[in-house]
């Protein structure tokens, strides 16, 4: 018999997309699953839609909770999970019908504890978007995620499937982080074991105007905190990688600050720190591209 997969869906004012998202889970070819929908204090019609689907399919489990942010919401959903495998799906993203089947099979066949895949992009109208990966590195996930030098696909939580035991007491979503929460959980998992990459487009990532990274300039302080934590936990496996990673991230933070007037006075400080960590790195990266605007990923 197939092992149970617990799919955790945090939802906040997700009425525009939640039906399509949940149907993409319920229509999976892998049938033995539970869908734990965590309503994070929505004020729209999300609850009505979720309860309708729950009446149609008993695999849907629903919980309403006061708003506490996406990281705490995912953690609460994780505490309710009963499955041997854990997956997350954001309330505006989708899966191909064979996403779970292929990823669970990959875990069983490779012996890895977690797996991720390639992806496709759509907009708010379900229209495909042509976005090519940049310097794609689906290996050595811990180091490449810290380096911030290219695309490492599992950066979004909607992508991976993991064995339940990988989420021990030491792996949880950090409630001090919202925008880079996906990157932080990948660092936590990658510090334990490198994942298996399944070279198929099984996850569909929706890009729209309400996406968290498109509107949240607070990401600056959250990224600073995340990299301090990485330092404290000794996730940098060499001094060279640490210098390069911190140079890269300070350069990126300078670019973010440039686009938000509330943060712009901090820009020069980040540029200076990037130079101090790796003078040559700043020139190799070419400073100007960082100020062209946030990349829609």
Given a cut of 90, is residue 296 above it in pLDDT? no
Phi, psi of 33 (to 5 degrees): -145, 160
209 C-beta neighbours (distance < 10 Å), count: 8
Look up residue 60 and give its two tokens.
């849907």
pLDDT digits (tens, 9 = 90+) for 99-145: 999 999 999 999 999 999 999 999 999 999 999 888 899 999 999 99
- Domains in the chain: boundaries: 5-214, 238-291
Given a cut of 50, is residue 295 above it in pLDDT? no
What's the Cα-to-Cα distance from 196 to each of 148, 199, 272, rounded to whole Å? 20, 10, 37
Taking the C-alpha atoms of residue 73 and residue 46, their distance in angstroms, rounded to an integer, is 15
What mean pLDDT comes out for the span 184-194? Answer: 97
Taking the C-alpha atoms of residue 123 and residue 120, their distance in angstroms, rounded to an integer, is 11
Given a cut of 50, is residue 214 above it in pLDDT? no
Q: Which fold has domain 5-214?
A: Spore Coat Polysaccharide Biosynthesis Protein SpsA; Chain A (3.90.550)
pTM: 0.92
Partners of 119 in the β-ladder: 203
pLDDT digits (tens, 9 = 90+) for 264-273: 899 999 999 9
Given a cut of 80, is residue 215 above it in pLDDT? no
pLDDT digits (tens, 9 = 90+) for 10-31: 999 999 999 999 999 999 999 9
pLDDT digits (tens, 9 = 90+) for 34-83: 999 999 999 999 999 999 999 999 999 999 999 999 999 999 999 999 99
Given a cut of 60, is residue 211 above it in pLDDT? no
Angle at 213 between CA 257 and CA 18, to 5 degrees: 165
Contact 200, 118 (CB under 8 A): yes
Phi, psi of 10 (to 5 degrees): -80, 135
Taking the C-alpha atoms of residue 180 and residue 34, their distance in angstroms, rounded to an integer, is 26
Structure-token match 């708010």, residue found: 124
Given a cut of 80, is residue 282 above it in pLDDT? no
Structure-token match 């686009």, residue found: 259
Contact 220, 175 (CB under 8 A): no
Strands 161-163 and 94-95: unpaired
pLDDT, residue 290, reads 58
pLDDT, residue 292, reads 62
């Amino acid at each position: 018999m197939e092992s149970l997969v617990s799919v955790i869906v945090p939802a906040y004012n997700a009425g525009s997309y939640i039906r399509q998202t949940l149907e993409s889970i319920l229509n999976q070819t892998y049938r033995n699953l539970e869908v734990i929908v965590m309503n994070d204090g929505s004020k729209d019609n999300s609850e009505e839609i979720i309860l309708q689907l729950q009446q149609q399919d008993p695999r849907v489990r629903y919980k309403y909770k006061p708003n506490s942010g996406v990281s705490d919401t995912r953690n609460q959903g994780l505490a309710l999970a009963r499955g041997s495998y854990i997956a997350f799906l954001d309330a505006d993203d989708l899966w191909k019908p064979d996403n779970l089947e292929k990823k669970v099979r990959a875990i069983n066949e490779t012996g890895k504890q977690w797996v991720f895949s390639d992806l496709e992009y759509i907009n708010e109208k379900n229209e495909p978007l042509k976005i090519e990966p940049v310097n794609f590195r689906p290996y050595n996930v811990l180091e490449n995620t810290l380096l911030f030098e290219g695309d490492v696909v599992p950066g979004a939580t909607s992508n991976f499937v993991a064995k339940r035991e990988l989420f021990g007491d030491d792996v949880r979503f950090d409630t001090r982080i919202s925008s880079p929460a996906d990157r932080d959980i990948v660092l936590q998992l990658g510090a334990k074991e490198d994942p298996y990459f399944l070279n198929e487009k099984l996850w569909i990532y929706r890009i729209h105007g309400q996406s968290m990274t498109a509107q949240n300039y607070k990401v600056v302080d959250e990224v600073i905190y995340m990299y301090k934590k990485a330092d404290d936990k000794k996730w940098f496996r060499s001094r060279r990688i640490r210098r390069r990673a911190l140079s890269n991230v300070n350069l990126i933070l300078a670019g973010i600050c440039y686009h938000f007037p509330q943060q712009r006075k901090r820009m020069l400080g980040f540029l200076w720190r990037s130079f101090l960590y790796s003078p040559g790195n700043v020139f190799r990266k070419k400073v100007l591209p960082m100020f062209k605007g946030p990349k829609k990923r």
